[in-house]
Structure 1
Amino acid sequence: MQFDVQSARENLKLQRFDLAATQYQELIANSPTDFILYLELSSALMGLQKLDEALVVVKQLEHVDFKLPEEVQLQKANINLAQGRFAESIPILQSLILSSCHERARTALSSAYLGVGLPTKASALFNGIEEEKLSPGDVNNLAISLCEQIQTPKALDLLSKRIINKQFDNSTISNLLMLSNYHASPENYISTAKKEIRKVNQEENVMAINKKSTDNIRVGFISGDMYQHPVGWFFIGLLKELSESFSTTIFYTNSKTDQLTHDLIAAASDFYFVEHLADVDLIQKIQAAQIDVLIDLSGHTANNRLSIFNQRIAPIQLSYLGYFASTYMSKMDGVIFDQWHLTGVPDGVFSERIHHLPCSRFCYTPPPYIPQITALPAIANGIITFCSFSSTSKISNECIEMWAKTLEAIPESRIQLRWRTLRDSQLRDHIRKLFLSHGIPNSRVELYPDCDHESLFHFYNEVDIALDTYPFSGATTSCEALSMGVPVITRTGKSPASNQTASILNELHLNECIANDISEFVEQAKKLSSDIERLSNWRSTMRERIASSALGNPKLFTSHFSQLITEIYHEGQ
């Protein structure tokens, strides 16, 4: 009995969730009153993403005399978090803050606050706690909450300090690299992260790969975003067309599903849910599929499995779409970009070879519920209404200054901001103070919490021009605005993340909406705001413009993408 328990716990620790769950079920059948086994079984089921089953197991413990009731409540809250039921988890976790499991409850509660768009509450949980006593999960959540509060430099300093002081895990490195895209000059932060990635890469286990000499190329994609997520919307059109000429296999490192997930499953040759697999098992799964070109779509973003790319899993290994910088992984052979993303980007910032598409790297498919476009609001209102429906983490102090100068240059104009964190009253007050510091009164700045995705599209019918964020430019939000006939004014920068909207606008031949500094940004906004006829014309013809480009024509885009993949593969033979 004792040996079996230790075996189950070892398998749980090694993320062999299938085997662990089977062992725990047998152990419970033999010892139905050993209630700690139920708690551990629920953890194995969570690892398998069988969240409803895990919740059933945990709820059984609420009705017995179990000596660890606080652990039961914490597990219940964690299952709610995994299911995206953040509001339900908050009161449970709040009740545990003074319990014996308070540290883990605090980490989970900060995640829940971030999930409902309350970053100031998330960061407040760590007030008065010495930084070195925070767990890696605490540090990551604190950094994210600071970014959402327009305090990116503070977030990056926190993560960088943890790495320098050797108090980190792989998620700390990924978060530092990911969040560095939100800073205009991130070189020092990237350098700190790269030093540790080199050490990880030195531990690589080189595997022998037999390259095939056939034109039937098997393309595999790894992603944690195969649902109604920006990557999903940018990927579905490409996948449908690509599967006509290539064997396509998706390795999905998440459990979240919706209608877009089902559409992606239908479009792919094969689709595997692999979140529950440990790295070694995931590698075996990929190699069993005999993938020729393996493309990572996550980079250092959430739910990534980038750690496997310090090994040779497939003949060709590439990074694309869901990440916008170098991964710095030793066995990542290349990245796929376009010329516009890389304009102004210094040489040597990528560890991978850069492969160029002849069009924008984006191919956008709007959701089926996109509404009809109505008349330009400025005609009836007599004033220009700007908007930004992007994450507040993409907003910097310099971005607020740029927007404020735009409002100052165009009398009576106003701006709408919409994002989930704008339900946070302290953050709203902070943003208003930033605008006021540049002379823009609150009456011209409208702040709204976000809504469901379908309703969000309707709000584009209330605005005339979208103002892009800086230094992290929009991609999905820019495509959504343009699909609703709303032009976007952007400012380029020194990183690919700063040039995302510029790539989209160049593809659509809307170069007059691209600026290189604040003064150009303001001037472009003034010119466009004074030309109501052009705004109205663009509004009525923008969807046709998109459909005739590679941005909105999946067949055209995929012809370019397929040719590039074929060239890369045969060049590597």
Structure 2
Amino acid sequence: MPPDQNLFHEALSHHLSGQFSFAEDKYRKYIENCDSLTVACTNLAALLIKKGQHHEASLFLDRALLYNPAYPEALSNQGYLNLLSSNYEQAVEFLTRSLYYKPHLQESLHHLYTIYTRTDCLQSLLPYLERALSSSFDPDILLLHAQVLYTIEGPERALQVFNESLEKSIHELLPSIYSRLGYFHLSFTRDYNRALYCFDYSITHSATPEEADLVNKGECLRLLLQLPECIKWINKCLHVHPRSVSLINLKAAVNRQAGDNNSALTLFNLALKLDSTNTQILINKALCLCDLGDIPQALSTLILTRKIDPQNAFCLQALGEIYFKNAQPVYALQSFLQSIYFNPRSFDAWDSILYFLSFTRVASTLERSKLVDSYHAALSTLPSCSFNSPSSCENRPLRVGILSAEIGNHAVSFFLESLLLSSNPDKTLFFVFPTRDRSHEKAWSTIKDSVYAFVPIYNIDDNAAHRLILDFELDVVIDTSHHMSFNRQLLLYRRLAPVQAHYIGVHGSTYLPTIDYFIGDNIITPEEFQCEFSERLVNLSRTWVSFTPPPRLPLINDAQLSNIRFGCFNNFMKITPETIELWSSVLRAFPGTSLLLKSSLPRETDDSRKSDIIASLSQAGVDPSRVEFAPYQDSWMSHMNLYNSIDISLDTLPLTSGTTAFDSLLMGVPLVAFSSPWIGGRLSHSIMNGLGRLDLVAFSTNEYLAIVGNLTEHINKKAYSRSQMRRQFLDSELCNSFSLYESFVSTLKRLHSEALSSYSNT
């Protein structure tokens, strides 16, 4: 029976309009009548690949190539399937054959780009790109050519290619070239202002602007934190393109960024109704579900995404982040490692895994070493910049810059506040550069009023920020954000001052080669920990932080509880199997006691995580009725008042208590600290040392039980007073911010002097 051409045209029409289910049905009916039709088999295979049905897709591609072995699109799709199976040699064979017949086939060039990036052979792609551009000018291939040159030769060479094309091209092509130049700035140089200019040019000079340009302009506004303007722009575009999946997804992302996760989830679901297999939207939805505390549904969504695209690096990164937050570090590490393997130059992915490494101990020494080498290889593709040479500060104040995303109601900010409020402008001038807008939070204005200069850079790209900060001629720059959200590690990589150091933020190396020092103390960063850091360890002469109590202290209730109640108000991702083992030992050793838990993070209020904790303690022999959960507290005072409901704070491990240790001691509740041999395992140890109570530090479970037993005996005999513990805390160096300032500044001056001496000698 001859094939029904109407069926084929209907299938093609549905395919091009995005109605993939209807298209698949028509293709199948068409192929039933004539199973040797190359185009139909290839198009159906492409739809099946999109759905994750790779085996069936391969069968249809075999049929397509049996009928026409030189059909480029079939060869390209077969190459892509081999790429998804990590069969790179076979993939390259199919892809290069497709380019022999059709040199400018974009899909094949992009798949080769992926393979050669992973195998570090990008140079091999250049001949194919040059041949494609010589046979037919295509702005998308121009962009890919620039991406390759950016990696191999640097940004100047890549921009030269764009400039040459702009000079040679006819007027009608300029908008499309500016569009690709905008994408290059958006994704590679991260110069969002230049990207915005390019997209504006393309949109205003095009009779019918590309939808991608409309979306990318909105993305620039989002990244520049111009959220009201971004929403206004998206709504304007949606009026013209009401069914644009990309615009709806972007609007959802803006809502999520603004903290409106419920509205964001509604929009993500709407977008998925229009395109149910869009992996980007599925990933965004999963992260939104995680923010809302629905971990099981978030994981389910990402598992579906992996079925569609097993090598999607962004999906694997999101999986790692969710496993990490759900206290499943082994699964998190596996996901992060795969994410980096499939996208080794994604600095967002590097931020995720390096932040994860600072919180956990699951990666082996060899794995860490390989990761650091790979990170440095990725950094080597970025431009390096000159910085101001050191100058003597013998007769002037030391000029210290602080880059921080935590200026606001964040633990880092509270500790910084103690340091800055005690500063002496005759000795030091502090310049604070917030990298995140938290201006609505109280601590923002407190710190702003306490420093010499306060210059937000959250809406400035790296190029502009680098020029701006260099003009201040800083002697030292302090980073507090590590690889946390809204960090500016890539800006620090360019160097902003002769001396750069990390302080307070995170308990682990940044692994950034231009961060010279990591500032700690003799307990959290002793000399024997140097092998775990790329920075040189520098220790203050006292505890590494201090706390400034508020003028109005929370009230203490010295009345004794009827039964001893333990408590821990750390965030739930610190509650690891090691923590469960320690706590269950305590609860088994002291019958009649109970445990009160409360997370410090609002997103960790979901019942599934609580159920996991209860189940783990139950398996360890603890009656679930002895474990209670307090709701998340919106205010600091209500959070602090909860300490009146417990007698003894228990530590977590391997990552021990930090901010919550200070909270507990301020409320007169003793913390029993557990010390282990890494920086994250020494935080509470250092705090108790600063308190002068090393008798509350244990190095083994038996020691821990002995200390808890001694405390419970004192409490039962009424030989213990919360008020007395608070007084000891307030009188200790933990609350002596002037001592911290003197130690901190003398350390920075010594480091600057060493840099000056080293520079003079060279």
TM norm structure 1: 0.91
CA apart distance, 1:33: 8.4
Give identity over the alignment, percent.
22
- Corresponding residue for residue 610 of structure 2: 428
1:155 aligns with 2:339: no
Check 1:118–1:478 CA distance in 2 against 1; reply closer, same or farther (3 A cut): farther
Say whether the 8 Å CA contact 1:9–1:20 is kept in structure 2: no
- Corresponding residue for residue 194 of structure 1: 372
- Corresponding residue for residue 205 of structure 1: 384
- Corresponding residue for residue 86 of structure 1: 261
1:566 to 729, 749, 753: 749
Equivalenced residue count is: 569
| Alignment partners' CA distance in 1, 2:553 and 2:192 | 40
Structure 1 residue matching 2:272: 3-state secondary structure: coil
CA apart distance, 1:49: 0.9
1:58 aligns with 2:58: no
CA apart distance, 1:20: 4.8
Say whether the 8 Å CA contact 1:162–1:168 is kept in structure 2: no
| Alignment partners' CA distance in 2, 1:274 and 1:137 | 27
CA apart distance, 1:527: 1.3
- Corresponding residue for residue 552 of structure 1: 735
- Corresponding residue for residue 48 of structure 1: 224
Structure 2 residue matching 1:214: 3-state secondary structure: coil
| Alignment partners' CA distance in 2, 1:264 and 1:522 | 42
Residue deviations 1:368-388, cap 9 Å, x none?
A: 775222224xx2x32111111
Letter in 2 for 1:220: G
Unaligned runs of 5+ in 2: 1-171, 757-762
Q: Please list, as runs of the form range in 1=range in 2, the aligned pairs for 1:505-516 lying within 5 A after superposition.
A: 505-516=688-699
- Corresponding residue for residue 557 of structure 2: 374
User: Larger helix proportion, structure 1 or 2?
Assistant: 2
Residue deviations 1:17-43, cap 9 Å, x none?
A: 345556766877788985946544432
TM norm structure 2: 0.70
CA apart distance, 1:452: 1.1
Check 1:564–1:97 CA distance in 2 against 1; reply closer, same or farther (3 A cut): same
Check 1:65–1:207 CA distance in 2 against 1; reply closer, same or farther (3 A cut): closer
1:236 aligns with 2:442: no
- Corresponding residue for residue 146 of structure 1: 323
Structure 2 residue matching 1:273: 3-state secondary structure: coil
Q: Please list, as runs of the form range in 1=range in 2, the aligned pairs for 1:239-258 lying within 5 A after superposition.
A: 239-242=420-423, 244=425, 245-257=427-439, 258=441
- Corresponding residue for residue 290 of structure 2: 114
- Corresponding residue for residue 479 of structure 2: 296
Say whether the 8 Å CA contact 1:25–1:41 is kept in structure 2: yes
| Alignment partners' CA distance in 2, 1:265 and 1:195 | 38
Check 1:256–1:82 CA distance in 2 against 1; reply closer, same or farther (3 A cut): farther
Check 1:413–1:247 CA distance in 2 against 1; reply closer, same or farther (3 A cut): same
1:463 aligns with 2:646: yes
Letter in 1 for 2:335: L
Q: Please list, as runs of the form range in 1=range in 2, the aligned pairs for 1:304-323 lying within 5 A after superposition.
A: 304-323=487-506
Say whether the 8 Å CA contact 1:153–1:183 is kept in structure 2: no
- Corresponding residue for residue 593 of structure 2: 413
Letter in 2 for 1:398: E
CA apart distance, 1:265: 1.6
1:385 to 543, 565, 568: 565
CA apart distance, 1:418: 1.1
Q: Which has the higher contact order (CA 8 A, sep 6+)?
A: 1
| Alignment partners' CA distance in 2, 1:153 and 1:161 | 13
Residue deviations 1:313-360, cap 9 Å, x none?
A: 311111111021222222221111101113595452222211111111
- Corresponding residue for residue 178 of structure 1: 355
- Between 1:277-286 and 1:13-22, the stretch displaced more is 13-22
Say whether the 8 Å CA contact 1:507–1:550 is kept in structure 2: yes
Residue deviations 1:470-491, cap 9 Å, x none?
A: 0011211111121121111121
- Between 1:221-230 and 1:126-135, the stretch displaced more is 126-135
Say whether the 8 Å CA contact 1:224–1:252 is kept in structure 2: yes
1:446 aligns with 2:628: yes
Larger radius of gyration: 2
Q: Please list, as runs of the form range in 1=range in 2, the aligned pairs for 1:265-284 lying within 5 A after superposition.
A: 265-284=448-467
Residue deviations 1:245-281, cap 9 Å, x none?
A: 3121122221233111122222222222223333333
Residue deviations 1:210-247, cap 9 Å, x none?
A: 21122321101111111111111111111222363312
- Corresponding residue for residue 517 of structure 2: 334
Say whether the 8 Å CA contact 1:136–1:168 is kept in structure 2: no
2:404 to 196, 199, 223: 223
Letter in 1 for 2:410: H
2:580 to 394, 397, 400: 400
Check 1:94–1:370 CA distance in 2 against 1; reply closer, same or farther (3 A cut): farther
Say whether the 8 Å CA contact 2:569–2:660 is kept in structure 1: yes
Say whether the 8 Å CA contact 1:39–1:72 is kept in structure 2: yes
Q: Please list, as runs of the form range in 1=range in 2, the aligned pairs for 1:94-113 lying within 5 A after superposition.
A: 94-100=269-275, 102-113=278-289
| Alignment partners' CA distance in 2, 1:370 and 1:29 | 59
| Alignment partners' CA distance in 1, 2:532 and 2:722 | 38
Structure 2 residue matching 1:218: 3-state secondary structure: strand
Structure 2 residue matching 1:504: 3-state secondary structure: helix
| Alignment partners' CA distance in 1, 2:378 and 2:353 | 16
- Corresponding residue for residue 106 of structure 2: none
Residue deviations 1:403-425, cap 9 Å, x none?
A: 01101111111111112455322
- Between 1:477-486 and 1:237-246, the stretch displaced more is 237-246
Letter in 2 for 1:483: L
Structure 1 residue matching 2:585: 3-state secondary structure: helix
Letter in 1 for 2:578: E
CA apart distance, 1:435: 0.5
Check 1:370–1:7 CA distance in 2 against 1; reply closer, same or farther (3 A cut): farther
Say whether the 8 Å CA contact 2:313–2:343 is kept in structure 1: no
Say whether the 8 Å CA contact 2:388–2:498 is kept in structure 1: yes
Check 1:264–1:243 CA distance in 2 against 1; reply closer, same or farther (3 A cut): farther
- Corresponding residue for residue 547 of structure 2: 364
Check 1:130–1:86 CA distance in 2 against 1; reply closer, same or farther (3 A cut): closer
Letter in 2 for 1:196: S
Q: CA RMSD in A?
A: 2.8
Structure 2 residue matching 1:470: 3-state secondary structure: coil
Unaligned runs of 5+ in 1: none
| Alignment partners' CA distance in 1, 2:544 and 2:663 | 16
Check 1:343–1:489 CA distance in 2 against 1; reply closer, same or farther (3 A cut): farther
Say whether the 8 Å CA contact 1:120–1:149 is kept in structure 2: no
